Structure 1
Amino acid sequence: MTSPIKTKPASLYTADYYLWLKETVAQLKAGDFDNLDVENLIEEIESLGRSEKQAIASYLMRLCEHLLKTKYWDTEREYCLRGWQREVMNFRLHIQEILEASPSLTSFVQEIFIKQYCNGRKLFLSASGVNPHLIPEAPEFSLEQALDQNWLPWQSDANCEGSVS
């Protein structure tokens, strides 16, 4: 037999979110489960998972965009490569941090890789004006390569040391 979910008036939740968080934590620590705003607490916990997924999808999309920039945007490479490499490193580090904190998201990253490559391709094409027919619709690199700190698509393995100063 389960007890019915009690819904606390949402006034504190909507009026002062930070205070609601502090009170909810205090209630949980004290074991005061009868006065918890369970409905909003459940919503907040569910949104945390969605936020992590949205963040990793965004980082992966931007990573793919910048990998395409390093490979295909020849006219800007000389002037922008250093910044693009720093962004590639930044997105890889953010993805790595999220996956270290939540290893169960690894399968999610694998599931969304193609979609986020396509989204990154759209961003790249919008920024660069490069002929879309010159850019593959499917990635020419694997997820493992995209996340590899020492790999860049425009350099051969012999020249790519992955260092960004």
Structure 2
Amino acid sequence: MQSEVNLKSASLYDTDYQLWLEQTVAQLREKDFNNLDLENLIEEIESLGKSDRRAISSYLLRLCEHLLKLKYWESERERCFRGWILEINNFRSEIELILKDSPSLQPFLSETFLSSYQKARKNLLRAIELPAFIPQEPEFTLEQALDEDWLPWQPK
């Protein structure tokens, strides 16, 4: 009987994900642990952590790109300044929200900062098609990048 229920749940996971979620939540609330589709439930929980890591990496990469644009892309700066500032603020806010929910991701953010900066640098160099005048190592810290009052360039 138990294997039939688990097969049914596994099949439900593949055929109607939303219904599987609702059923799994109901089983958890009812403490019906014997009939849980554990294999898929474990996979889903693992993917939640990966999703937050991917999101924080993506926001950090985009934040670094926009900070570098602001500092180095002089020909576009005047025209794009307001938009870049809005994006910088959005990326900072998204990172802050993720860290508020999962403060244990702070070390991950620190670990990924240099590689995010370097990817952002490559992306910007491709976009502006200029010689590699942007330093390989960041001229700003992670703390500065996340500081809502800091920018690498200010209008005069």
Q: TM-score range by the shorter chain?
A: over 0.9
Q: Normalization by structure 2: what TM-score? A: 0.93
Q: Distance in 2 between matches of 1:69 and 1:126?
A: 12
The answer for the alignment partner of 1:162 in structure 2 is none
Corresponding residue of 2:146? 147
Q: Render the CA deviation track for 1:62-107: whole Å, top value 9, x for unaligned.
A: 0000000000000000100110111000000000000011000001
- How many matched pairs? 152
Conservation of the 8 A alpha-carbon contact between 1:7 and 1:38 = no
Cα distance per residue 1:90-135 (max 9 Å; x no partner): 0000000000110000010001000000111111112222321x10
User: What's the counterpart of residue 55 of structure 2?
Assistant: 55
**After TM superposition, what 4+ stretches of structure 1 lie above 4 angstroms from structure 2?**
none
1:95 paired residue number: 95
SS in 1 for 2:71: helix
State the partner residue of 2:46: 46
Residue 7 of structure 1, CA deviation: 8.6
Structure with the bigger percentage of helix: 2
Q: Provide the C-alpha distance between the structure 1 equivalents of 2:119 and 2:5, rounded to a whole number of angstroms.
A: 40
Q: Does the CA contact (< 8 Å) of 1:65 and 1:123 recur in 2?
A: yes
Percent identity of paired positions between Structure 1 and Structure 2: 59
Measure the CA separation in 2 of the matches of 1:93 and 1:141: 18
TM-score w.r.t. the length of structure 1 is 0.88
Q: Structure 1: how far apart are the matches of 2:99 and 2:135?
A: 28
Q: CA deviation at 1:155?
A: 2.7
How far 1:36 moved relative to its partner?
A: 0.3
**Gapped regions of structure 2 (runs ≥ 5):** none
Separation in structure 2 between the aligned mates of residue 108 and residue 67 of structure 1, nearest angstrom? 20
Distance across 2 between alignment mates of 1:138 and 1:17: 44
Amino acid at match of 1:117: Y
Partners of 2:146 and 2:138 lie apart in 1 by 13
SS at match of 1:8: helix
The answer on 1:125 being equivalent to 2:136 is no
- Shift in CA distance, 34/152, structure 1 to aligned 2, threshold 3 Å: same
* RMSD, aligned α-carbons: 1.7
Equivalent-residue separation in structure 1 for 2:130 and 2:110 (angstroms):
28
**Alpha-carbon separation, structure 2, partners of 1:130 and 1:106:** 34
